[in-house]
Amino acid sequence: MNASSKWGPARPMVVMGAAAMISLLLASCQGDDASIGSARISCGDGVCNVDETCASCASDCGACLDSCGDGVCTADETCTSCSADCGLCPDLCGDDSCDASEHCSTCEADCGACPDTPATVTRGPYLQSGSTSSMVIRWRSDEGTDSVVAYGADPTSLTNVATSAATATEHQVRIDGLAADTRYYYAIGSSTSPLVGADDDHFFATAPQTGAARPTRIWVLGDSGTANDNARSVRDAYDSFTGSRGTDLWLMLGDNAYPDGTDDEYQEAVFEMYPDTLRNAVLWPTLGNHDGHSAESASQTGPYYDIFTLPTAAEAGGVRSGTEAYYAFDYGNVHFVCLDSYDSDPDPSGPMMTWMENDLAATAQPWIVAFWHHPPYTKGSHDSNSEGRLEDMREFALPILEAYGVDLVLSGHSHSYERSMLLNAHYGASNTLTGSMIMDSGDGQEGGDGAYSKPDSTAEGAVYIVAGSSGKTSSADLDHPAMYISLAELGSVVLDVDGARLEATFLDDSGSVLDSFTIRKD
Ligand SMILES: [Fe+2]
């Protein structure tokens, strides 16, 4: 379907049935005017003469003003005066006459004269579940319409269209048949009106072919949902850092909208906070405990599950999970695994861990990055020695992940940045850490002690990052012995994967790099 024809000239304003209705109403108005002419008190003389118009009467003696207060429009009342005096809809159905029974709402419903007032986008657009060949584009509008996305290689020539016919205010359009590793420009709207896009600011890119080594930038936010100046400063620091390089994909590590993950809180903490990144890069979230206050993983209900469209059937790679609560996807040569550490069963023989093991066994990707909310190692505002969910993830998830060569684990929950050394097989409390569990105790920096080395997919060792300070910091001991560095500083993490090299950077809220390390597989 061609976009220009889809969004060509507006449709005819008045249909036949409505025109007939209008004629009848006009005849009714004029009849009323004639019949009441001699009975109306108009100019203070006790007699309303038929030749006394509203205009002359109002200017002469001001007695005709009830003409707009009686619910009936007379023939000599203009649209302008009628609208101003009694709030009737001016130029109602395109016939230049006012009618008492025609109000804006009925006009729109009855004769379709107002639909060229476009709906307004109140959320998004935002990108979800992108793959090598597909993209989901979502947005919210203030009025229900059908959904149309026009897209193409050039913002001035969006020659392809994807649609959803259902009338909705929550719009979701899935585009299939896209080329891998390709930028597309887009616009969103309805079959009657484009709303936003068709410019340089609205684009998305499909994922590279699975396994392809393509420089990839990933932005990682944890506990970012404060909707305040802290979150804004972290955002602005990253925007300045990445500049025209842009973002290929981004992760939210949970507690994305405080305090309860409600729709209104998501509006402020996510959609009004990150509009630029939302429309250009696919967001992959995980459920935090605060998001979980208003959501339920078993039924996949609540704002978190309503807002996000996440892969349940391996739409973006990996093995089918059957739920949005935990899922996997591929981007280039990286395999991502998202777990639900708050509201799904963490038992090693339960559905989530069983699925994860099957998924990890099936991937041939050189890089494996896992993320969830509750950190396996932290001495920040939470203590992984003594909090159940944290202990569960350490004891149940880590052995599986490490058996399949996980390289990096990202979590939040503690409002700090805590980054481990290269570790292996540390599944107990912090006082059980031994030297044999530390594969490399250096800083991991190529200009320092040297990058962490994992020369093949079976090599042991992973780095664990707590990145829960994208919206707030909390004072704490910050002395977990597995950590190379622990900071109570606002910031976010930037991951750059390029072939056999992964670099992680902790960027604070003023744009300073407070930590970085590299893992190499060559
Ligand atoms: Fe949390």
pLDDT at residue 36 greater than cutoff 80? no
Instruction: Read off the pLDDT of residues 458-476 as tens digits, 9 standing for 90 and up.
Output: 789 999 999 999 999 998 9
CATH 2.60.40.10 is right for the domain spanning 120-205: yes
Instruction: Read off the pLDDT of residues 428-441 as tens digits, 9 standing for 90 and up.
Output: 999 999 999 999 99
Give the whole-angstrom CA distance, residue 193 versus residue 126: 19
Ligand 1 centroid vs 78 CA: distance in angstroms? 62
Give how far Cα 39 sits from Cα of 36, 152, 328, Å. Answer: 5, 67, 79
H or E segment and range at residue 303: helix 303-307
Instruction: Read off the pLDDT of residues 369-411 as tens digits, 9 standing for 90 and up.
Output: 999 999 999 999 999 999 999 999 999 999 999 999 999 999 9
Ligand 1 centroid vs 254 CA: distance in angstroms? 7
Ligand 1 centroid vs 80 CA: distance in angstroms? 58
Closest CA to 115 of 21, 4, 15: 15
Ligand 1 centroid vs 290 CA: distance in angstroms? 6
Topology of domain 216-520, CATH = Purple Acid Phosphatase; chain A, domain 2 (3.60.21)
What is the gyration radius of the CA atoms in the chain, in angstroms? 31
Give the whole-angstrom CA distance, residue 354 versus residue 167: 39
- If you average pLDDT over every residue of the chain, what do you get? 84
**CATH 2.60.40.10 in the chain, residue ranges:** 120-205
Instruction: Read off the pLDDT of residues 139-191 as tens digits, 9 standing for 90 and up.
Output: 999 999 999 999 999 999 999 999 999 999 999 999 999 999 999 999 999 99
Ligand 1 centroid vs 253 CA: distance in angstroms? 9
What pLDDT is stored for residue 193 in this prediction? 87
What pLDDT is stored for residue 25 in this prediction? 26
Ligand 1 centroid vs 414 CA: distance in angstroms? 7
Give the whole-angstrom CA distance, residue 83 versus residue 286: 52
pLDDT at residue 5 greater than cutoff 90? no
Instruction: Read off the pLDDT of residues 89-127 as tens digits, 9 standing for 90 and up.
Output: 344 445 544 444 444 444 444 444 444 457 899 999 999
H or E segment and range at residue 206: none
Q: Say what angle helices 104-111 and 16-36 make with each other, to 10 degrees.
A: 140
Closest CA to 157 of 184, 181, 138: 184
Strands 135-152 vs 121-128: parallel, antiparallel or unpaired: antiparallel
Strands 483-487 vs 417-420: parallel, antiparallel or unpaired: antiparallel
Give how far Cα 405 sits from Cα of 96, 446, 458, Å. Answer: 74, 22, 6
pLDDT at residue 2 greater than cutoff 60? no
Closest CA to 196 of 157, 150, 251, 236: 150
Report the residue count for the chain.
Answer: 522
Give the whole-angstrom CA distance, residue 343 versus residue 276: 30
Ligand 1 centroid vs 55 CA: distance in angstroms? 68
Contact 97, 136 (CB under 8 A): no
Instruction: Read off the pLDDT of residues 271-327 as tens digits, 9 standing for 90 and up.
Output: 999 999 999 999 999 999 999 999 999 999 999 999 999 999 999 999 999 999 999
Contact 402, 462 (CB under 8 A): yes
Ligand 1 centroid vs 46 CA: distance in angstroms? 77
Ligand 1 centroid vs 121 CA: distance in angstroms? 31
Buried b (16+ CB within 10 A) or exposed e, 489-514: bbbbbbbbbebebbbbbbbbbeeeee
**CATH 3.60.21.10 in the chain, residue ranges:** 216-520
Give how far Cα 267 sits from Cα of 169, 221, 302, 474, Å. Answer: 15, 17, 14, 25
Ligand 1 centroid vs 222 CA: distance in angstroms? 9
Ligand 1 centroid vs 288 CA: distance in angstroms? 5
CA torsion through residues 193, 195, 201, 202, sign = negative
What pLDDT is stored for residue 117 in this prediction? 59
